[in-house]
């Protein structure tokens, strides 16, 4: 039987990424980051789309070469339809359409959030790993989303809880900015937290619905706490950096896990996964593993490489859509606010 080769393209935010999946196995995943945003302390949409435009051809070329697959051997091209930044999404979707037309192959539109969940199913060549069994619960935590989802199948998913304001990733990034860490701050907080005392400073927990989240109160409380502490001691941040990071991270993880426990007991599902950029956090990865042992959960954590934005997750979702004959017309347009 002919091999199925899927080219996946991700360009929803500030990473241009291309990947090849062959018969469900990952052959390549190449990502070009965008250093241009660093000095602005956040992603500048106009600069992001320009950088995608510059990076997309070399990134796809590198993904094809690494996979040793020729453009004419691609069976379908999958691209991120949304959610994300419109200008960034337009670059990936336009390229995908052009590529599909040039090779006369189908186009597959992929929801970025579904992609993060599908990353749990990525397998590299000769990799042996237990894959999640349906149904399972996923805590999807990224820069723009914080949701608890019942995953009944690749494309049958129900959101049962979500943030009413900021996402967990935003809480990490905004608090990191307050203490002078660069963007994105999540990885820096994680690094410093490893050396700090998580119980040193206490932050209040939000009061919202039993499966919902709220992080804006924590962000404000953190800002006031730092401001007041600096008034008393101008070197407060420097002298307490690791403890501040550890305490903040501990609070965010505590909020996330409490809701996940509620969701597991409410649904009776004890297969639990995490996904999205914040699932790269070492504290969250450890905490969920530990909680899994305590609660008798089967825990699934994506490979670290595929937690933050990447095209491998788009390609594997595209592969399953391809098997379902779920193709997009060339009239499809990106949707910056696409929902799960
Ligand atoms: O999934 P992602 O790459 O992009 C979106 O779809 O939003 O997630 C990015 C988010 C950022 O907020 C970033 O700070 C956070 O993931 N992040 C982390 C870590 N690595 C990335 N947060 C905490 N600890 C980390 N190690
Ligand atoms: Zn993402």
Residues with CB under 5 A from ligand 2 (ion): 142, 309
Task: Find the ligand nearest to 252 CA.
Answer: 1
- Domains of the chain (ranges; CATH) run 5-122+306-323 (3.30.420.40), 136-301 (3.30.420.40)
Q: Is 166 near ligand 1, meaning CB less than 6 Å away?
A: no
Alpha carbon of 73 to ligand 1 centroid (Å): 34
Residues contacting 292, CB < 8 A, separation 6+: 272, 298, 299
Q: Is 308 near ligand 1, meaning CB less than 6 Å away?
A: yes
Alpha carbon of 279 to ligand 1 centroid (Å): 8
Q: Using DSSP, state whether 163 is helix, strand or coil.
A: strand
Alpha carbon of 223 to ligand 2 centroid (Å): 26
Each of the 340 residues of the chain gets a pLDDT tens digit; together they read 789 999 999 999 999 999 999 999 999 999 999 999 988 889 999 999 999 999 999 999 999 999 999 999 999 999 999 999 999 999 999 999 999 999 999 999 999 999 999 999 999 999 999 999 999 999 999 999 999 999 999 999 999 999 999 999 999 999 999 999 988 999 999 999 999 999 999 998 899 999 999 999 999 999 999 999 999 999 999 999 999 999 999 999 999 999 999 999 999 999 999 999 999 999 999 999 999 999 999 999 999 999 999 999 999 999 999 999 999 999 999 999 999 9
Q: Whose CA is nearest to atom 23 of ligand 1?
A: 186
CA nearest neighbour of 205 among 242, 171, 245: 171
CA nearest neighbour of 88 among 80, 76, 77: 80
CA dist., res. 296 & res. 293, Å (int): 5
SS3 sequence, 321-336?
HHHCCCCECCCCCCCC
């Amino acid at each position: 039987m002919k091999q199925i080769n899927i080219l996946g393209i991700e360009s929803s935010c500030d990473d241009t990424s291309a990947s090849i999946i062959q018969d469900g196995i990952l052959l390549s995943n190449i990502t070009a980051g965008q250093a241009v945003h660093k000095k602005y302390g956040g992603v500048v949409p106009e600069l992001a789309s320009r950088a995608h435009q510059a990076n997309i051809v070399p990134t796809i070329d590198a993904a094809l070469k690494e996979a040793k697959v020729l453009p004419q051997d691609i069976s379908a091209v999958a691209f991120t339809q949304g959610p994300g930044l419109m200008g960034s999404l337009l670059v990936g979707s336009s390229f995908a359409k052009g590529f599909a037309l040039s090779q006369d192959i189908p186009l597959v539109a992929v929801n970025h959030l579904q992609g993060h969940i599908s990353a749990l199913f990525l397998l590299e060549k000769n990799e042996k790993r237990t894959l999640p069994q349906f149904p399972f619960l996923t805590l999807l935590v990224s820069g723009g989303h914080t949701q608890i989802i019942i995953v009944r199948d690749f494309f049958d998913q129900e959101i049962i809880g979500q943030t009413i304001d900021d996402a967990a990733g935003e809480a990490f990034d905004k608090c990191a900015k307050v203490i002078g860490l660069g963007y994105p701050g999540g990885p820096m907080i994680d690094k410093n937290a490893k050396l700090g005392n998580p119980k040193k400073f206490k932050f209040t927990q939000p009061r919202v619905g039993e499966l919902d989240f709220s992080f804006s109160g924590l962000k404000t409380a953190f800002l006031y706490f730092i401001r007041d502490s600096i008034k008393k001691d101008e070197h407060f941040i420097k002298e307490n950096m690791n403890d501040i990071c550890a305490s903040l991270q501990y609070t965010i993880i505590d909020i996330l896990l409490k809701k996940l426990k509620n969701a597991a007991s409410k649904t009776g599902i004890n297969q639990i996964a995490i996904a999205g950029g914040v699932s790269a956090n070492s504290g969250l990865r450890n905490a969920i593993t530990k909680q899994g042992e305590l609660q008798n959960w089967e825990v699934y954590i994506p490979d670290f490489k595929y937690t933050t934005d990447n095209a491998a997750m788009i390609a594997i979702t595209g592969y399953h859509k391809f098997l379902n004959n779920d193709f997009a017309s060339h009239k499809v347009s990106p949707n910056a606010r696409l929902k799960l």
